[in-house]
């Protein structure tokens, strides 16, 4: 590999692209990750999704003017001119088609959450990745929060028997239910519990909603999704001999620093950041949760 790795961004309709560029290209940032450059981007955008089209112009302008990122005409051109692709398009409905355009180039690819809007869509993406030998990962940044990662690794109190995750549950029509913000909490639940959710139910209240999931061995995971009040993320992990509490709002690094560190240290070395079975489990729990809440 060359001393500076080229990163391409596909879809500039999320604040993630600004956060990623700052961490990768601003040497004055205290969490700067050296050795990378955002070398090309494609703006994209979804005209039928206000959280996409209303933000894309400003983020695109900032990438061009502040970071000097060249704008290319197609996603494939971006893939051809980089070593690693970050598919940052905020609209999960577009991910399968966008990946179909770049997969033949064969570049390692990170797809920002959600991987897709259905299990079938996620499986189709993985089939394309296998066909074209693409190393592929997708996850929420919350999975790589330093304090959460450390809590999962610290098993001094015995195995995990339950986890409660707290966070916002904003709803949007384009990606209904848990696909928009619920993915963060569900990602943390799967990171703690692994694959194998056996059943779930949804309890609705005026100001919040509970997604109650059961794993084998009488293990449970609950997402407390709030519609009003505080939107801070937090988690309580119950182990056989005690409890771990994680206030993610007090994290010592930005969410995206841990995520980018994981991406850049694995994908370029031919390894995914997250096990494929867990990526699919996140999609499955979201899909089953949406069916339950309907």
10-residue averages of pLDDT along the chain (294 residues):
85 95 96 96 95 94 96 98 97 98 98 97 98 97 95 97 96 93 96 97 95 97 92 94 94 91 95 96 98 93
Residue spans per domain, the chain: 5-112, 142-253+285-293
Q: Out of 2.40.420.20, 3.40.50.1970, 3.40.50.300, 3.40.50.720, select the CATH number for domain 5-112.
A: 3.40.50.720
Q: What is the 3-state secondary structure (H, E, C) of 173-191?
A: CCCCHHHCCHHHHHHHHHH
Per CATH, the number for 142-253+285-293 is 3.30.360.10
pLDDT given at position 21? 96
CA distance 294 to 289: 9
pLDDT at 169: 94
State residue 161 phi and psi, 5-degree precision: -110, -20
DSSP-H helix ranges across 36-113: 50-67, 75-80, 95-102
End-to-end CA distance of the chain: 49
**pLDDT for the residue 228:** 87
Establish whether the linkage from the previous residue to 96 is cis, with ω within 30° of 0. no
pLDDT score for 2: 52
Tokens of 230: 């505080």
Distance of CA 147 to the CA centre of its chain: 17
- 37 has which bridge partners? 6
pTM of the entire predicted model: 0.95
């Amino acid at each position: 590999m060359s001393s500076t790795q080229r990163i391409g961004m596909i879809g500039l309709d999320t604040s993630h692209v600004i956060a990623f560029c700052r961490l990768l290209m601003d040497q004055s940032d205290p969490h700067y990750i050296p050795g990378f450059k955002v070398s090309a981007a494609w703006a994209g955008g979804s005209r039928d999704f206000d959280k996409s089209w209303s933000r894309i112009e400003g983020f695109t302008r900032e990438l061009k003017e502040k970071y000097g990122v060249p704008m290319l005409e197609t996603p494939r051109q971006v893939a051809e001119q980089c070593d690693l692709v970050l598919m940052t398009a905020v609209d999960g409905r577009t991910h399968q088609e966008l990946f179909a355009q770049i997969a033949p180039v064969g570049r390692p690819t990170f797809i920002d959450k959600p991987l897709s809007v259905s299990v079938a869509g996620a499986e189709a993406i993985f089939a394309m990745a296998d066909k074209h030998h693409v190393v592929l990962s997708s996850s929420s940044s919350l999975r790589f929060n330093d304090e959460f990662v450390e809590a999962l690794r610290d098993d001094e109190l015995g195995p995990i028997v339950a986890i409660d995750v707290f966070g916002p549950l904003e709803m949007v029509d384009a990606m209904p239910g848990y696909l928009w913000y619920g993915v963060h909490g569900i990602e943390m639940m799967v990171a703690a519990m692994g694959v194998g959710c056996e059943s779930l139910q949804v309890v609705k209240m005026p100001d919040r909603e509970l997604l109650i999931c059961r794993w084998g061995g009488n293990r449970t995971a609950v997402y407390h999704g709030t519609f009003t009040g505080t939107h801070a993320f937090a988690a309580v992990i119950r182990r056989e001999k005690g409890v771990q509490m994680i206030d993610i709002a007090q994290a010592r690094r930005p969410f995206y620093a841990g995520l980018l560190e994981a991406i850049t240290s694995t994908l370029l070395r031919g390894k995914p950041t997250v096990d494929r079975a867990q990526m699919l489990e996140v999609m499955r729990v979201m899909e089953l949760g949406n069916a339950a809440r309907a």
